[in-house]
């Protein structure tokens, strides 16, 4: 199982923050495949999965953003009713807690991926390896 990554950017909860980050990605011709925002009182974390993660990470750092690269797991689900349920049912049966999640739709109405960050990625991968799950291959999104 190869590694997929989420890029996390710290942002104050103010107008224009998301614009600044996405502008950098757009100008470097980096495609955002999945994304989520978690925010709390005054600040938040913006998370992206992109096609060129290494390039995006270096670029954002260079531009002065507070950014981190976190390994994630991409699990295929059917883009249809019950698709998400089938996947999270397995995760919870293994006692795997999702710290953050977003969705990458690979083929509309057919195939999507649940992208999750968990506390211990290698342990989670180990627990899931015998399950009937298809994992996102990083090469697929390059």
Partner 1 sequence: MTGAKRGDILQNSMTYGLFTGAFVMHYGAEKIGILVIPAGPGNTERQINLMRDFGTTMLHITPSYALYVASVIYDKGIDPRRDLKLKRAYLGAEPYSEETRKKIEDMLGIDIYNCYGLTEMNGPGVGFECKYKEGLHIWEDNFLMEVINPETGEPIPDGEIGELVLTTLNREAMPLIRYRTRDLTKIISEPCKCGRTHRRISRILGRSDDMFIVKGVNIFPQQIEQVLMSIKGVAQNYQIVLESYDEMTVKVEIDRELFDGKIERLIRMKDEIVDKIRSATMVKPKVELLEPGTLPISEGKAKRVIDNRTI
Binding site for partner 1 (CB under 8 A): 6, 8, 10-12, 38-40, 42-45, 47, 64-70, 99-100, 117
Question: What DSSP line would sit under 37-98, residue for residue?
Answer: EEEETTEEEEEEEESSHHHHHHHHHHTT--EEEEEEEEEEEESSTTHHHHHHHHHHHTTPPE
Shorter beta-carbon distance to partner 1: residue 11 or 75: 11
Q: Shortest Cβ distance from residue 60 to partner 1 (Å)? A: 11
Shorter beta-carbon distance to partner 1: residue 11 or 77: 11
Shorter beta-carbon distance to partner 1: residue 76 or 104: 104
């Amino acid at each position: 199982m190869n590694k997929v990554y989420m890029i996390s950017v710290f942002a104050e909860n103010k107008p224009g923050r998301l614009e600044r980050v996405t502008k950098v990605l757009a100008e470097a011709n980096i495609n955002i495949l999945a994304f989520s925002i978690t925010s709390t009182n005054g600040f938040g974390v913006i998370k992206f999965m992109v096609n060129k993660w290494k390039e995006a990470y270096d670029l954002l750092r260079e531009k002065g953003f507070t950014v981190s690269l976190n390994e994630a797991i991409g699990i295929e689900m059917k883009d249809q009713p019950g698709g998400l349920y089938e996947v999270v049912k397995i995760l919870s049966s293994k006692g795997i807690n999702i710290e953050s999640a977003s969705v990458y739709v690979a083929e509309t109405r057919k195939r999507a991926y649940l992208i999750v960050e968990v506390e211990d990625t290698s342990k989670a991968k180990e627990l899931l390896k015998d399950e009937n799950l298809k994992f996102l291959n990083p090469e697929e999104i390059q």
